[in-house]
Amino acid sequence: MARPREFDTIQVLEQATHLFLVKGYAATSLRHLIAAMDISKSSFYEAFDSKQDLYLLVLDRYIDKIVDQLVSTLGQGASPRTAIAVSFNDIIDGAMAGDDCLGCLLTNAAAEVCADDAAAGRIAHGLARQEEAYYEAIVRAQRSGEVPPGHDARALARFLTTSANGLQLMAKATSDRMALYDVARVVLSCLD
């Protein structure tokens, strides 16, 4: 009979998420994880099997969280175009809120992953979900007359997804809020 877990799974997953944000996948060792999660090596293997399996679980949870937040933001208010602008402001505000400039785990993972890596499919799926959320907002904006109907909604959604993730990376390298707002303003002008 298996012993019950002696740790809070949600808490240790949050600790692992933070460590992967700080160090990235490759620079995070099993020793780092066990120390950050404050669990034994045997408990780690019993619960998560491997560093890679833990990373994939952390990525899945993180992607669900950020995509749900994006969908919520894009669904708020009467103006889909304003909601798209708010999503970019949220990226900037989130990046400027902390002192550690950790960025977004999905963006960081995309920058670190190789195409044949096990995480690549999950990252691609997360980016596709972001793209779909922007696509649906653009289509609503086209229906309401806020975005010209002749614009390719799918191409715009891909551009917004790529720009949002690029903004996340840029925010890790600069504390110049106005520079980030300049980027967002130019990106959003593509909706004109």
pLDDT tens, residue by residue, 97-125: 765 667 788 888 888 876 567 888 888 88
Q: What angle do CA 66, 68, 72 make, to 5 degrees?
A: 115
Contact call for residues 13 and 57 (beta carbons, < 8 A) = yes
**pTM for the predicted model, two decimal places:** 0.85
pLDDT tens, residue by residue, 144-192: 999 999 999 999 999 999 999 999 888 888 888 899 999 999 999 999 9
How far apart are alpha carbons 136 and 147 in whole angstroms? 12
pLDDT tens, residue by residue, 10-52: 898 999 998 898 888 888 889 998 888 888 888 888 888 888 8
Residue ranges and CATH numbers for the domains of the chain are: 56-191 (1.10.357.10)
Contact call for residues 160 and 135 (beta carbons, < 8 A) = no
Which pLDDT does position 114 carry in this prediction?
66
Which pLDDT does position 111 carry in this prediction?
83
Count Cβ neighbours within 10 Å for each residue of 78-89 and write b for 16 or more, e otherwise: eebbebbbbbbe
- As a whole number, mean pLDDT of residues 1-16 equals 74
Give 138 or 174, the one with higher predicted confidence.
138
